[in-house]
Amino acid sequence: MTHLSPETLSRSGSATDPERRLSRAIAWARASLATENFLPALWPALGFAGAYVSLALFGLFAFIPWPAQSLLLAATVTATGLALDAGFAGFSWPSWKDGARRLELDSGLLHRPISEWHDRSIAQDAFSLALWRLHQARRIAFDRLKLRWPAPDLSERDPRYLRYGVIVLLAGGLALAGVHWRDRLMRAFDSGAGLAVTLDGWVDPPPYTGLPPVYLAPSDTSLIAVPAGSTLNLRAHGAQHAPGLQLGISNPPRFTGENGEYTDTAKITGDARVRVRSSGHVIGNWHIHAIADALPVISFDGLPSATEHQAMKISFKASDDYGVTGAKLVMTPHARPGPPLAVDLPIAAAKSITQTNYEDLTPHPYAGLMVDAHLEARDGAGQTGKSNTVTFRLPARIFTDPLARALIEQRQNLATSDAAGKRLVAATLDALTIAPEKFYANATNIYMGLRASYWALRDARAPADITHVEDMLWQIAVSLDEKGLAEAAAELRRLQSAISQALAMHAPQDVVDKLISQYDQAMQRYMQALANNPGAQQQQQPMAGQDSKTLTQKDLEDLLKAIQQMSATGNREQAAQMMAMLQNLLENMKMQKSGQGGQQNKALNDAIQKLGDMMGKERGLLDKTMRQQNGNGDPKDGGSQGLAGQQGQIRKDLQGAMQGLDSKMGQKLGPAGQAMDRAEKSLGQKNLDDAANEEKNAMDAMRQGAEAMAQEAQQNGKGQADSDPLGRSRGTSTTGVKIPGITDMARSREILQELRKRAGERGRPQQELDYYDRLLKEF
């Protein structure tokens, strides 16, 4: 008799489909027998483990010390292991014949048609063989095959039915634990040290963004957006050992520290899933989205142009998501060789910038050449954005001396040529120094400078040597043509840029005052240099015509003083605009002798200044009158009689100011004097209501008179009333800046002083003091 295993039969090519189905049925029968033998072998191991898990689900381990819990866990593991060893001591997987016999018994098949599948008949006669084949054919009667479900019997191993008690305990524990069943099961196999660990997490954006830190709440499951390049900071407290960090990158930084305190920092360069574990517990889990820093954007706001003094005017706009920190103009000679020329454009860091800079590049060898230029903006992250390239002619200084013009031309050739071109420049310099006794008899210093430049160029080996020769040629040309005008103009431009930056960055007022004082001194030096160089002036700008208006030195000083006062009162944006306008006036100034209009304006300006002071005194008197009327008067004022005396003194001051004016202007101030006289009489009669009304009338009359005098001052001079100090129509002005009148400045100063005075009188009602504080914040 030969016995083939079902595996061999299923792999043989002669196996029929019914035979394969029979093999699968036997396999299920073997699995059923194995289940009936396997489950009883698990008892009482499952009982020990179930009891321990039940204790965990009921939350008892929260009250049991960890040493006792660890002993109980060790006992449970030991008992479970011993029970499994005993239960599986005689366990074996059912054989094929066992499975076949189980299938025969469950199907009610007699004479073992399946288990005797591979038996052979001993008899060889025809009848016996036919009978044997009929018996074997019964094995594939599948319609009669049955297999009952496994029925493991645990009564022998658990005669007291303790298994049902364990099931009840597990069900009750699950019901009591609810949603906390995972945490309780984790605590069953853990000391709980990880649960006591606290984690502080926050993200520091890069300093250049100006954004505040972002705190990471432990329960925050939302997407947290931070700038790329931010720093992730983690601080773990109470940990028994260093926590682990998962950051979505290979080799993330590890926690460091000791005594329960551990720290870790990491750079956020892209989207990250941050997960922190301690003793198997997740103590931090966040989704972080890194926002990439955009490139700064910069563009020309019009083609660069030249001012009357040949300085280059550069208007541009720049923006960045976190702020533009730097800008520069890069130029290269158009269709000619030469290194790039980069000019830094001073700016105050801001997200959006619209600015105009003046740069004097006339000393550079490229001056007068066509250049290809583009702007570059830099942000706090060091990224650079570029503008479109424009082509224009770089402003150049106009030299009147023929030799100076020749030296400047050779200087340009030297900066934009190769080695052969440099030899040609050296030969030209040598030729320019022929016959010194004839051409340089009275200019020995010029001759020596040219010879020094020639030999320096002959011996030049490095770019720095070439630059040295270019500087020497420029100094010689400037000394031939003028006496210090360019240096004075450059100093003015530098100080104007420094003042604009100080105003934009809200620098202390003493710093602004110091810069304005330096600008005033530089302006005086510039005006003197301009007056001492009439030849250069005639070449650089036309003479003033009949339609132009005279701009005196005092006018410039008054405008600078107004800028300082506006800065002191808090209106720094308008002060910066007026500063740019003043620089524009100086850049385009035309020297001319002043006429009688300036003298007339001086008298009017002095009168307006005095009138502004009197208006401040009159307002103070009105305030005292109203306090006296409400019964809150200051005893030091002497009552209504004392106020009448103060009104009389203001009236006398007004009469003194009117004496220096013509009759027309005196008539403008007449109503103010009359109102003061009536107010004085009312105060003497203790009629405070009428006195207050007359004081208001006096202030209105003085204000109208001051406005009339200001208009008269603007009309004085040779220019027409609708033209600016340069003779241009006011309607075509591009500054857009309204210059406040002297009365406006005086009025602002009076209001600010009075507010400060009242805010210092702490005896006033608190509501009134709060109102004054809010007003002072605006300044």
pLDDT of residue 546: 38
pLDDT of residue 288: 92
pLDDT of residue 389: 94
CATH code, domain carrying 616: 1.20.120
State the residue range of the domain holding 569.
491-534+551-592
Clarify whether residues 211 and 359 are in a common domain: no
- The backbone torsions φ and ψ at residue 182, rounded to the nearest 5 degrees and listed phi first, read -65, -45
pLDDT of residue 111: 64
User: How is residue 480 written in tokens?
Assistant: 């031939």
Mark the ranges of the chain whose per-residue pLDDT is less than 70: 1-19, 109-113, 115-121, 135-144, 190-195, 280, 400, 481-487, 529, 531-551, 589-605, 660, 662-665, 713-750, 752-753, 756, 760, 762, 772, 774-779
User: How is residue 139 written in tokens?
Assistant: 């094995």
pLDDT of residue 727: 39
The amino acid that residue 95 corresponds to is S
DSSP 215-227: EE-TT--SEEEEE
pLDDT of residue 13: 41
Clarify whether residues 30 and 153 are in a common domain: yes
Consecutive H or E run containing 364: none
The verdict on residue 183 lying in a domain is: no
Structural domain count, the chain = 7
Clarify whether residues 630 and 617 are in a common domain: yes
CA dist list (Å): 367 to 331, 474, 676: 11, 11, 65
CA dihedral 109, 113, 115, 120 (to 10 degrees): 160
Among 173, 208, 234, give the residue marking a domain's end: 173
Strands 341-344 and 312-333: antiparallel
The verdict on residue 720 lying in a domain is: yes
Handedness of CA 155, 157, 158, 159 (dihedral sign): positive
- Would you call 258 helix, strand, or coil by DSSP? strand
Contact call for residues 537 and 591 (beta carbons, < 8 A): yes
CATH code, domain carrying 214: 2.60.40.10
Rounded distance between C-alpha atoms, residue 119 and residue 111, angstroms: 13
| Buried residues in 587-619 as b, exposed as e (16+ CB within 10 A) | bebbeeebeebbebbebbbebbbbbbebbbebb
The verdict on residue 351 lying in a domain is: yes
Omega cis (within 30) before 436: no
Which among 83, 81, 87, 76 has a CA at the least distance from the CA of 37? 87
The verdict on residue 757 lying in a domain is: yes
Tens digits of residue pLDDT in 74-101: 898 998 888 888 888 877 788 887 777 7
The verdict on residue 204 lying in a domain is: yes
The verdict on residue 162 lying in a domain is: yes
Contact call for residues 601 and 661 (beta carbons, < 8 A): no
Biggest CA–CA distance in the chain, Å, is: 163
Helix axes 463-481, 402-415, angle to 10 degrees: 160
Rounded distance between C-alpha atoms, residue 583 and residue 556, angstroms: 10
CA dist list (Å): 575 to 232, 501, 753: 43, 12, 20
- Would you call 111 helix, strand, or coil by DSSP? coil
DSSP 664-714: HHHHHHHHHHHHHHHHHHHHHTT-HHHHHHHHHHHHHHHHHHHHHHHHHHH
